[in-house]
Every structure is written in structure tokens, then in C-alpha cells.
Amino acid sequence: MRRLPPVDARPDLTPRRVAESRITLAQLMGPVQANVNGNVHGGHIMKLMDEAGASVAMRHAQREVVTVAVDQVLFREPIHIGDLVNLTAELTYVGRTSMEVRIEVTALNLLTGANSHTNTAYFVYVAIDAAGRPAPVPPLQLESDEERRQWKAAQARQAYRLAQRGSQREA
């Protein structure tokens, strides 16, 4: 049985770099992943995206996390059975307890070498303590102009999500 470290007793809030939690995940698409059209089921890709995003958030926070928001997921082109799907996921923004992760998906045709960018989406996770309450996470240490640009864009997206949440509560 998996033993969790006593994270609540040892909150390490030392700032961490984007590179320290970035992950890549690759999976070969087989017949089990097919939809009725014979292409890969979009729901399978969304599950992989959430797993990749949650892994990044957990790696940064060193805590359990839950998914709180998923931005629009657009599939630009179909992914085919036999393709090698690659997901690259990294943090763009960290609040007090929340983290936005950018997840980029590409599909590689192993026979032709054609590599297509099928979609990019942003998922937001919240770190939780043993009681399921939001828990503080380490700040993000930005190192490059690109990371600062991503942060600024993520701040704007997060402000929009929270405004949406506010208006949904009022409705």
C-alpha cells in the first residue's frame, strides 16, 4: 500500500522553478482507445491531459491535488490508432493554493514521421491538506522572458475564471 509522506507536518514552501515539475508523457494509441469512427476517443486524450497536469501540480506542491477548472479543449485534428501521443505539461502560474498547468498534445505518426500539434489546454489544480481543504503551495520561480509572458497570460485567465465563478454563484 502507498504510504503518503506526512506533508501537513512538513510544508516546504521554498520557491521552485518551472523546470522542476515539468513532465512529458508518451502513449501509443491502440484499438482500445478507438471511438466509433476508428480514431482515438477524445475523452481518452482529456483523461491523459488531466493525469499529466495533476502530476505536474503534485510534483510542484508535493501534496495531493484536485482539478478545479479546465479551459476550453479544442481538437484541431483527429489522432489515429497507431500514433504515438506526447503530452508536455508545465506550470504557468501559481497562486496561494492553486496552480495553472499548460498541457500541449502532439501526435506522431511513427511510419511517416509526421508530427501534428493536436491541442493545447490549461487545467487548474488546487493543493489540498489531509482534510481536503485548500493548502498553500511553494511560489513559482520564473527564469525566462517566456515564463514571465506565460505567467501574465495565466493571471488574466485566472481572473476571468474567478469572475465567471462569481457570476455563477450569483445566478
Ligand X SMILES: CC(C)(COP(=O)(O)OP(=O)(O)OC[C@H]1O[C@@H](n2cnc3c(N)ncnc32)[C@H](O)[C@@H]1OP(=O)(O)O)[C@@H](O)C(=O)NCCC(=O)NCCS
Binding mask 141-170 for ligand X (x = CB under 6 A): -----------------x--xx--x-----
Q: How far is it, in rounded angstroms, from Cα 101 to Cα 158?
A: 12
Contact predicate 105/89, CB 8 Å: no
Cell (9 digits) for 21? 515539475
Q: Which residue in the set 11, 78, 134, 139 belongs to the binding site for ligand X (CB under 6 A)?
A: 134
Which residue stretch of 28-36, 60-68, 101-109, 147-155 sits at the interface with ligand X (rule: CB under 6 A)?
60-68
Q: How many CB atoms lie within 10 A of CB 42?
A: 15
67 binds ligand X per the rule CB under 6 A = yes
Q: Which residue in the set 54, 79, 126, 142 belongs to the binding site for ligand X (CB under 6 A)?
A: 126
97 binds ligand X per the rule CB under 6 A = yes
Q: Which residue in the set 34, 69, 81, 108 belongs to the binding site for ligand X (CB under 6 A)?
A: 69
Based on CB atoms, which residue is closest to ligand X, 73 or 84?
73
Contact predicate 104/40, CB 8 Å: no
92 binds ligand X per the rule CB under 6 A = no
Q: How many residues bind ligand X (CB under 6 A)?
A: 16
Number of helices followed by number of strands (H, E) in the chain: 2, 7
Cell (9 digits) for 59? 510534483
Distances (CA, A) of 100 to 4, 70, 72, 126, 159: 24, 10, 14, 9, 12
Can you give the binding site for ligand X, defined by CB under 6 A? 66-69, 95-98, 124, 126, 128, 134, 158, 161-162, 165
